[in-house]
Amino acid sequence: MKQVLQNLKTGTIEVAEVPCPLVRPGHLLIQTRASLISAGTERSFVEFGKASLLAKARSKPDKVKQVLDKIKADGLLPTLETVFARLDEPFPLGYCNAGVVVEVGAGVEAFETGDRVISNGAHAEIVCVPRNLCAKIPEGVSDEEAAFTVLGAIGLQGVRLIAPTLGEAVVVTGLGLIGLMVVQMLRANGCRVLGIDPDPGRLELARQMGAETVDLSTGADPVATALAFSHGRGVDGVIITAAAKTNEIMHQSAQMSRKRGRIVLVGVVGLNLTRSDFYEKELTFQVSCSYGPGRYDATYEDRGLDYPIGFVRWTEQRNFEAILDLLASGCLDVTPLISKRIEHSESAEAYRLLAEEREALGILLTYPRAEATRATVVSLERGERASSGTGRAVVGLIGAGNFARMTGLPALARTNARLAGVADLDGTAAAHVGKKFGFERTTTDHHTLLNDPDINTMFIFTRHDLHAPLVMETLEAGKHVFVEKPLCLNLEQLAQIRQAYEKAEDRQLLVGFNRRFSPHAIKMKALLANRTQPLCMNMMVNAGVIPRGGWVHDPDVGGGRIIGEGCHWIDLMSFLAGAPVSRVVSTRIGQSPAVDIRDDKLTITLSFTNGSAGTLHYFGNGSKTYPKETLEVFCDGKVLRLDNFRLLRGYGWAGFKKMKLRRMDKGHRREFQQMIEAVTTGGPGVIPFAEIDNVMRATFAAVESASTGNPIDLE
């Protein structure tokens, strides 16, 4: 299928061929009939993409600070590589979609195949959208009109926050698509409306919709006009739908408001507020969030759990329905807002017009009525379809997310493996990764890779909850498997994987415990080979903050940060000790569960079967400018200290003082190389399964001990 993408590095717009998405539980698969380009939001994306690197940095000062912090912690080269890789990712454009349901996901009851619906789907021939971000289109509302629904809901949420009442005087500043729809909604509420804009054409549309206007292009004074419009009392409310950098709009809004007036920001303007403006009149100011309650709440949007109507009357979905009802009743008329109709295949031309014709309002993309191609596999024509040769690793990849793009694939691409196919539920990500790293084909259905007899090795880079089922599926398919940590999320899954691995006989199963493959860890292992005493190890991990809503904190999806990431350092210390963990004691920092997140601030003490001991301090409340990982190892009157996998120092070692690399190396390249070599030549597991099993059990024990306060002895 075809989808509109923008390269954020160059600003280039393309209509790319990507695999069709599969319908997911709780989602609808929709064939698009019309989609609306959001003149404000999408123009800003296009302008950002075309800007120079310096201009991009100036427009995102918060991101620049993150980059500087990363340079301090990780070094210049890795940081620049990350920045440029991020900018090189394709960005799907569009979020105002109208179409027909072609497939209904499991658990969806309110929709059926054939329903006409709107959604916040992208500019693509087929989109997969969660049910709470869809709404049925009433009879009498055309696809083109319905495509305005999502933008209309953004304006409606601003209207709801301003809480207009019959007869009030309300100002709308900025008469773009949203502003002109807001004018009509306020008029439907019985308000007197004053529209402010510098564009004569938009001002004329506002007047046709029943508003009085202020033409800024003539030098008219908006404050004086608003005061006269409100009979000298000051307006009751101001809704700002403009996009501008100036702080003057907020200042003027305060000046034209009556005492205890309301100001709601829907657009984007300068917010360097003057205290006296708000203090003297006790003004209320609120920023409106997108389509309404539910926005950015994964429980509502992704899982489909609705808010009770008795407590949250107007959610995102119910705002969509309200806009559609206004369209059906004729209270909202969007036909005058349509400036252009352009075929989806010519989308690049649509964005050229968006950039060059500033007066353009609604640019609609039209789509063929014939059934769209629903191919889930797209060939990239890399020319490697011939026999792979005996023993050669032929790789399929599941998961094209951040880890794959930034870390996994740059290392895997340096091996001699044949990269046969990449699968991801996000067809855009799969297509981008496939092209960038030289895969032969890309797909949204991982079963096409598992069923390919030519593929003998699968790399799994998905979210944590999919690791265990995909590992078992891959082993049952008779293929070697590399899975990024963690191997699984609980002991039950670990037992199931153990059984599947034993049945798989000579298949490789490697978990992404890459730290043990780093040059520094290998050097430490060699230096410690002739020790005469057990090791005393102290591992400090400055893990950084992940906000409470992050998926990694979800026990069913990410497993929590210790299971998801702590296993790394348990494995590293077990590798250096040369022995499995025998006992685990954990202490969770903090007393009250209500205070922040507690499971990312733990101290874990490990005892090993050979008498060695290790302490892992995993803290998620430190500074990003401080190194993430520091390891100290004591034995035989000597000390090794490893700083962030860049510098290893030896104290008391004859012939060794330090090992310093130009850049951080956490072992990914060597790890993947050894996996590919093991597949090619055969032999035992790169990491014996008994060690993987012990590390995972020790990780689960660490979480249990932190919860119960009791030490855990491993069998």
CATH number of the structural domain spanning residue 128: 3.90.180.10
Same structural domain for residues 118 and 50? yes
- What are the angstrom distances between the C-alpha of 345 and each of 92, 101, 707? 15, 21, 56
Supply the DSSP symbol for 203.
H
The Cα–Cα gap between 471 and 489 comes to 12
Q: From the CB of residue 417, how many other CB atoms can be counted at a distance below 10 Å?
A: 23
Q: Which segment of 185-189, 375-379, 415-419, 466-470 scores lowest on mean pLDDT?
A: 375-379
How many Å is the Cα radius of gyration of the chain?
29
Q: What's the pLDDT tens digit per position in 593-622?
A: 544 566 789 999 999 999 999 999 999 888
Same structural domain for residues 195 and 256? yes
The three-class DSSP label of residue 558 is coil
Same structural domain for residues 281 and 357? no
**Residue that finishes a domain, picked among 453, 488, 514:** 514
CATH code of the domain containing 400: 3.40.50.720
Half-sphere exposure of residue 170, counting CA atoms within 13 Å on the CB side?
Answer: 33
**Residue that finishes a domain, picked among 264, 287, 310:** 287
Strands of the sheet with 90-92, listed across from one edge: 13-17, 2-7, 90-92
Same structural domain for residues 480 and 352? no
Pairing mode of beta strands 27-37, 362-366 = antiparallel
Same structural domain for residues 603 and 474? no
Are the beta carbons of 158 and 267 closer than 8 angstroms? no
Are the beta carbons of 426 and 443 closer than 8 angstroms? no
Are the beta carbons of 170 and 194 closer than 8 angstroms? yes
Torsion-angle region of 95 (φ positive above 0: left; ψ -120 to 50: alpha; else: beta): alpha
For residue 386, pLDDT beyond 50: no
Supply the DSSP symbol for 325.
H
Q: What's the pLDDT tens digit per position in 649-697?
A: 999 999 999 999 988 899 999 999 999 999 999 889 999 999 999 999 9
Are the beta carbons of 2 and 375 closer than 8 angstroms? no
For residue 630, pLDDT beyond 70: yes
Determine, yes or no, domain membership for 591. yes
Residue among 310, 32, 282 at smallest CA distance from 144: 32
The three-class DSSP label of residue 53 is helix
- The residues, any chain, with a CB within 8 Å of residue 163's CB and separated by 6 or more, are 237, 262
Q: Where is 317: in which H helix or E strand?
A: helix 316-329
132 is written with which tokens? 């709470």
Q: Could you list the residue range(s) of the whole structural domain that residue 283 is in? A: 152-287
Report cis status (omega within 30 of 0) of the bond before 90.
no
Q: What's the pLDDT tens digit per position in 267-308?
A: 999 999 999 999 999 999 999 999 999 999 989 999 999 999
Residue 492's pLDDT band (cuts 50, 70, 90): very high
Determine, yes or no, domain membership for 302. no
Residue with tokens 């609609």: 364
The Cα–Cα gap between 459 and 578 comes to 27
Q: At what angle do helices 177-188 and 200-208 cross, to 10 degrees?
A: 20
Range 18-38 average pLDDT: 96
The Cα–Cα gap between 348 and 350 comes to 5
Range 628-645 average pLDDT: 96
The three-class DSSP label of residue 501 is helix
Determine, yes or no, domain membership for 73. yes
Are the beta carbons of 327 and 334 closer than 8 angstroms? yes
Residue 388's pLDDT band (cuts 50, 70, 90): very low
The Cα–Cα gap between 135 and 116 comes to 9
Residue with tokens 């920045």: 83
Determine, yes or no, domain membership for 327. no
Same structural domain for residues 504 and 406? yes
Q: Percent helix, strand and coil across the chain, each rounded to 5?
A: 35, 25, 40
Same structural domain for residues 172 and 269? yes
Supply the DSSP symbol for 686.
S
Q: Please report the sign of the dihedral spanned by the C-alpha atoms of residue 73, residue 74, residue 77, residue 79.
A: negative
Count of domains in the chain?
Answer: 4
Q: Please report the sign of the dihedral spanned by the C-alpha atoms of residue 701, residue 702, residue 705, residue 707.
A: negative
Quick one: 683 exposed, middle or buried, by C-beta within 10 A (0-12, 13-18, 19+)?
Answer: exposed
For residue 51, pLDDT beyond 90: no
Same structural domain for residues 45 and 89? yes
Per-chain mean pLDDT for the chain: 92
Same structural domain for residues 137 and 275? no
Same structural domain for residues 509 and 548? no
Q: From the CB of residue 636, how many other CB atoms can be counted at a distance below 10 Å?
A: 13
Residue 59's pLDDT band (cuts 50, 70, 90): low
**Residue that finishes a domain, picked among 287, 314, 344:** 287
The Cα–Cα gap between 171 and 237 comes to 6
The Cα–Cα gap between 621 and 589 comes to 11
For the chain, give the percent of residues with pLDDT over 90.
Answer: 79
Determine, yes or no, domain membership for 311. no
Determine, yes or no, domain membership for 323. no
- The residues, any chain, with a CB within 8 Å of residue 664's CB and separated by 6 or more, are 74, 75, 78, 644, 645, 646
- What are the angstrom distances between the C-alpha of 5 and each of 13, 122, 348, 690? 6, 9, 10, 46
The Cα–Cα gap between 301 and 295 comes to 7
Determine, yes or no, domain membership for 304. no
Residue 385's pLDDT band (cuts 50, 70, 90): very low
- What are the angstrom distances between the C-alpha of 405 and each of 378, 484, 618? 19, 13, 26
Residue 387's pLDDT band (cuts 50, 70, 90): very low
Q: What's the pLDDT tens digit per position in 109-142?
A: 999 999 999 999 999 999 999 999 999 999 999 9
pLDDT of residue 683: 85
Same structural domain for residues 648 and 682? yes
Q: Please report the sign of the dihedral spanned by the C-alpha atoms of residue 556, residue 562, residue 565, residue 571.
A: negative
Same structural domain for residues 85 and 107? yes
Torsion angles phi and psi, residue 385, rounded to 5: -75, -10
CATH code of the domain containing 522: 3.30.360.10
pLDDT of residue 52: 67
Determine, yes or no, domain membership for 211. yes
pLDDT of residue 593: 52
Predicted TM-score (pTM) of the model is 0.87
